[in-house]
Amino acid sequence: MIHRRLFLGLAAGAAALLSLTGAHAQEPLPVVASFSILGDMTSRIGGEHVAVTTLVGPGGDAHVFEPTPADARALGRAKLLVTNGLQFEGWLPRLVATSGFKGETAVAATGVTPIAFVQEEPEAHDDHDHDHAGHDHGPSDPHAWQDLANGQIYARNIVEALKTADPAHAGDYEANGAAYIAEMKELDAEIRGELEDVPAEARKVVTSHDAFGYFGKAYGIAFIAPNGVSTEAEASAADVARIIDQIRDEKIRAVFVENISDPRLVERIAAETGAEIGGSLFSDSLSAPDGPAPTYLDMFRHNAGELAKALKTS
């Protein structure tokens, strides 16, 4: 009897150990994403297999972000880091060096053809294969996610990175990524339909900083901004005067505030020109979960809807 009890005890202990080992094997992959848009994309593709920590959260400004020791600890534990690239996260190399990060790195914008952030007036494209021609002058615009065609490139890069970091769930990452890309293509068609009734001469808006070059090129809208590609840039008096003159000369009626920018400059421009301030546009950051743009796709729906409403009534 003693031997039987001992055997049963050992068997139960072995079963418990196997259970713990299995549970450990199923722990989600620790991933760090540099900002909220990439965090959402990675969570959507990774699903239950990933635990995503986002460094610059909803409503945050990645241009002026200052990492904390907690951020360094999170990155040090991560198996995968998802970044935008195109020199968007200037603070990231130092954080990586201090964190001791040894995992894989996915640069989501790999394969995107960058555009210069100073744009000529764009032409709308009827196809989904946008040709983002580069320019020889000026820095590249890092906001490539603002075109859903580029969003599909981002998704494919994240899929491949997750498959490399966690090959056991490669099939799930492939399936999730394919479904996600299909939704992007469907939304792209919806946005084109929503904007097709806007006359060419009305397709001009003013925003706080130059973050919508890719959106403008994809959907045929000219975005005019007093600030440069970074929110750290400050518009000169001459820049503001030029834009005020342009708004008056071209009868631009749509002025938008971005969710991460100080609204005072846009409010001043609107006051001096009589232009109406539309709703808030989301450029570099998602909203909180209870806001109008809690996901990447929701952000596109919101921005396109606000622009269509303003341009059709301007």
Choose between 265 and 179: higher pLDDT.
Answer: 179
211 and 169 in a common domain: no
Tally of domains in the chain? 2
211 and 184 in a common domain: no
**Across residues 23-47, what is the average pLDDT?**
91
- pLDDT-derived band at 305 (thresholds 50, 70, 90) equals very high
Choose between 310 and 227: higher pLDDT.
Answer: 310
Whether 43 and 54 have beta carbons less than 8 Å apart is answered as: no
Q: Please count the helices (runs of H) and the strands (runs of E) in the chain.
A: 10, 8
286 and 164 in a common domain: no
305 and 237 in a common domain: yes
Domain contains 249: yes
275 and 210 in a common domain: yes
Distance separating alpha carbons of residues 161 and 157, to the nearest angstrom: 6
Domain contains 4: no
158 and 73 in a common domain: yes
Give pLDDT, residue 18: 43
Closest CA to 161 of 72, 24, 42, 295: 42
Domain assignment of residue 243, given as a range:
199-313
Closest CA to 94 of 72, 61, 109, 74: 72
pLDDT at 167 over 90: yes
Which residue, 188, 210, 225, sits at the end of a domain?
A: 188
Which residue, 127, 159, 188, sits at the end of a domain?
A: 188
Kindly list the distances between the CA atom of residue 65 and the CA atoms of 34, 260, 291, 295, in Å, as whole numbers in the listed order: 10, 12, 22, 21
Choose between 109 and 259: higher pLDDT.
Answer: 109
121 and 219 in a common domain: no
Give pLDDT, residue 126: 43
Domain contains 10: no
Which residue, 144, 161, 188, sits at the end of a domain?
A: 188
35 and 183 in a common domain: yes
Domain contains 45: yes
Q: What is the CATH number of the domain that holds 297?
A: 3.40.50.1980
Distance separating alpha carbons of residues 152 and 53, to the nearest angstrom: 22
Domain contains 227: yes
Global pTM reads 0.79
258 and 129 in a common domain: no
248 and 120 in a common domain: no
163 and 237 in a common domain: no
pLDDT at 27 over 70: yes
Domain contains 254: yes
Domain contains 300: yes
Give pLDDT, residue 263: 63
pLDDT at 7 over 80: no
Distance separating alpha carbons of residues 98 and 278, to the nearest angstrom: 42
Q: Give the torsion through C-alpha atoms of 213, 37, 291, 53, to 10 deg.
A: -160
Q: State phi, psi for 225 to the nearest 5 degrees.
A: -135, 135
Domain contains 239: yes
153 and 40 in a common domain: yes
Least confident residue range of 51-60, 124-133, 220-229, 253-262: 124-133
